[in-house]
Amino acid sequence: MDSTKELLVIALGGNALLNSKSKGTIEEREAAADETAAQLLNVLASDYSIILTHGNGPQVGNLLIQNDEAIAKVPAMPLDVCVAETQGEIGFILQKAIQNTFQKNDIKKNILTILTQVLVNENDPAFSNLSKPVGPYYSLEQTKKILDEKDWKFREDPGGKGYRRVVASPKPIKILQDKIINDLILSDYIVIAVGGGGIPVWIKDNEIRGMEAVIDKDLASSQLAIDLKADELIILTNVECCYINFKKPNQISLRDLNLDEAQTYYDQGHFSAGSMGPKVLAALDFVTNTGNKAIITSIEKLSDALKGNAGTIIHQ
């Protein structure tokens, strides 16, 4: 047990484990996990304590479609249960890929996936402003039929694909398994946790209850990093760093930002809500609450970013 190692929380995107263009077969999922494990090998094998987190957008979307298609034969599960199912699924596939990569490279390290519940406030404003689209697209006729039976909310897709259910995306308050995760880290385990943002729960009458909601993966990762006083939060995405005027002729890469600079760019709307916005917000929360630095970069540039040679570094 070594409490002197630097603790890194590394947030993977759901698309790092299932490409949005994939059909979703187990072979595709395992191949994507194998590639991710290979790309992470140098960092995982190094002398850091590491927690991996991940998204589940494509996976939970597929599971909701399966629910929808099989509802005449098998009862559909609520959203919190679907998040739990994808935590187990992705955790198993990623954990197995990393174990196999360690075995091939004669690395003696242990890794464990933990089913993680994340506390949210039942009075969070997100529950009165449903904004997160989940599951399949429906026609107007299908949407009306569902509304006859369920108290769901729908939003029309601006691209004309149909209607999708929207759910709340509340702010994470606390990671309920933080002490268990910390004990595993102190015992030299690599831990996979808060998959898909964690299973959203609230407490009523001293009982834990699931919530029909989804939590942003990056905000949950930041909350875990804050709870455990991590040394660095690393958020991996599909670009090397953050930009202002992204994909415009006057695009500028952002390499080193203090809190004030990052907050100003965020407030000016340079980071969209559907992509870089939550990542920058998560980084701001982490740096504000710990005084430590956050890095936003791609998985290909992770090793360079840890040396300060790539990515966007946000600090005090």
pLDDT tens for each residue of 43-57: 999 999 999 999 998
Q: What radius of gyration do the chain's Cα atoms show? A: 19
Strand partners, 234: 10, 295
CA 82, CA 93: separation in Å to the nearest integer?
A: 17
Q: What is the DSSP letter of 275?
A: T
DSSP 107-150: ---EEEE---EEE--TT-GGGGS--EEEEEEE-HHHHHHHHHH-
Q: Which CATH class is domain 231-316?
A: alpha beta
Mean pLDDT of the chain: 93
What is the number of other CB atoms lying within 10 angstroms of the CB of residue 313? 22
Cα dihedral sign, 158-164-168-170: negative
Residue 243 DSSP label: E
* Confidence category of residue 15, pLDDT binned at 50, 70, 90: low
SS3 helix, strand, coil % of the chain, rounded to 5? 40, 25, 35
**Quick one: 53 exposed, middle or buried, by C-beta within 10 A (0-12, 13-18, 19+)?**
buried
Pairwise pLDDT comparison (238 vs 287), residue with the higher score: 287
- Give the pLDDT confidence score for residue 137 in this predicted structure: 87
pLDDT-derived band at 62, boundaries 50, 70, 90: confident
Calculate mean pLDDT across residues 48-67: 91
- 232 three-class SS: strand
The CATH superfamily of 1-38+48-119+173-227 is Acetylglutamate kinase-like (3.40.1160.10)
pLDDT over 70 percentage in the chain? 98
Q: Where in the chain are the domains?
A: 1-38+48-119+173-227, 130-167, 231-316
Find tokens 């600079």 and name the residue.
Answer: 261
Q: Which of 171, 112, 162 is CA-nearest to residue 141?
A: 162
pLDDT at 20: 64
Query: Could you give the residue numbers annotated as active site?
Result: 14-15, 132, 217, 279
53 Cβ neighbours under 8 A, 6+ residues apart: 9, 10, 11, 12, 192, 193, 194, 195, 217, 220, 221, 224
Residue 5 and residue 2: Cα distance in Å, rounded?
6
Question: Structure pTM?
Answer: 0.93
Residue type, 6: E
- In the chain, where does DSSP find H-type helix? 26-44, 57-69, 79-104, 140-149, 178-186, 217-227, 259-267, 276-290, 302-306
Beta bridge partners of 8: 50, 232
- Report the pLDDT value the prediction gives residue 14, as an integer from 0 to 100: 59
